[in-house]
Structure 1
Amino acid sequence: MLAKRIQPMVSQARRLYVELMFQVMGRALQAVSEVDDAVKKETQALPAGFLFEMMVMPDGPRLIVEHTGLGRLHYHGDSAPRPVDLSIQFKHITHAFLVLSFQEKTAVAFANDRMLVDGDISYAVRMTRVLNRLESFILPKLIAERAVKEYPSNLHLPQKLVSAVRIYLKVATNFVETVRA
């Protein structure tokens, strides 16, 4: 009886967590594209105006970022100004929660058929590398090693800390600007 009352609250908490993580990730993707040269280089191969979406099917939380050119990404929130070019879709909120709470690596979730890719696979691989680089910066190493396929061997503590601080400051600034608007 108690389980029937708690389950809806657990589902709602997961959904709120995924929504918050998508907001943070979207803003962090924009920030890391301004801070890290490796991410800039990775995203420069994307066409200008390229729209990337990560979402929970069918109409769940989502994040949308656009490549504006020169390796820079811009976070659009959860609404796209036009049809997206690449969509990575979690099949269920529980699957998104597993990945976004770092209990399961993205590659493992894909292998376990928990997500779909709609769009060019080479762009999906590129965006996954960008997401992995972002997670390597903003998460403690112990957690990042659980979240990404391979933790960068050339990412040393001083660079990680400086980049993480710069990313988090930009994310916080973006949140403040959004609240003011």
Structure 2
Amino acid sequence: MATMMVKRLQPMMSHARRSYVELMFQVMGRALQAISEVDETTRNETCELPEGFLFEMQVMPNGPKLIVEHTGNGKLLFHGDEAPRPVDLSIQFKHIAHAFLVLSFQEKTSVAFANDRMLVDGDVSYAVRMTRVLNRLESFILPRLIAERAVKEYPATIKLPEKLISAARIYLKVATQFVETVRA
């Protein structure tokens, strides 16, 4: 009886995980664009990327993905899941369950790499830079308790007033982007 129940629930759980990962990639892509507009430290980090640099995060082989482009001056532009040309850097989760663990903050990105759940296709120095940007984003938009579980090291330089103001600005920009997408 229990085995039959598990067999019935597995497809629903798999679909729920995939839907969650797709939604998180939508939020993360928009939030990456937003943080590059509101945070000078992030812009300084992304300024080191070549103009036109395309970054992709995806689930292998043809799962959900997000694509952002460095458009210059440290600004990132979210392209959804369609790259206008071949990407320069791809961070790939080997399975939807691995992506779910990281994106639901049950496993740090660094632990996922160490556990061989992710691949990097492209220049490793750019992957490290983008990981720092993602960690900074998570440090701003997540409650500290959750962010500490998500990032390798929570930045000591982020104080509560800066966190709250930056998080509010990022979330406002993300919400605005979602509204604009619905209107289009």
Shorter-chain TM-score bucket reads over 0.9
Unmatched 5+ residue regions in structure 2?
none
Where does 1:1-181 land on structure 2 (aligned, <5 Å)? Answer: 1-181=4-184
Deviations 1:105-126 (A, max 9, x none): 0000000000000000000000
CA distance in 1, matches of 2:34, 2:58: 20
Q: Percent identity between the aligned chains?
A: 81
In structure 2, how many angstroms separate the alpha carbons of the residues matched to 1:18 and 1:46?
26
Q: Offset at 1:160?
A: 0.1
Q: How far did 1:14 drift?
A: 0.1
> Secondary structure of 2:105's match?
coil
TM-score by length of 1: 1.00
Q: Runs of at least 4 residues of structure 1 off by over 3 A?
A: none
Secondary structure at 1:77's aligned position in 2? coil
State how far apart, in whole Å, the 2-side matches of 1:16 and 1:172 are.
Answer: 19
Note the alpha carbon deviations across 1:11-54, whole angstroms, 9 max, x for none: 00000000000000000000000000000000000000000000
C-alpha distance in 1 between matches for 2:75 and 2:96: 29
Number of equivalences: 181
Distance (whole Å) between structure 2 residues aligned to residue 79 and residue 110 of structure 1: 25
SS in 2 for 1:46: coil
Instruction: Map Cα deviations across residues 142-166 of structure 1 (whole Å, 9 max, x no partner).
Output: 0000000000001110000000000
Q: Secondary structure at the match of 1:152?
A: coil
**Cα RMSD, aligned residues only:** 0.2
- 1:56 CA displacement: 0.1
Q: CA–CA distance in 2 between the matches of 1:51 and 1:32?
A: 17
Provide the rounded CA distance (Å) in 1 between the counterparts of 2:73 and 2:18.
34
CA distance in 1, matches of 2:79, 2:166: 23
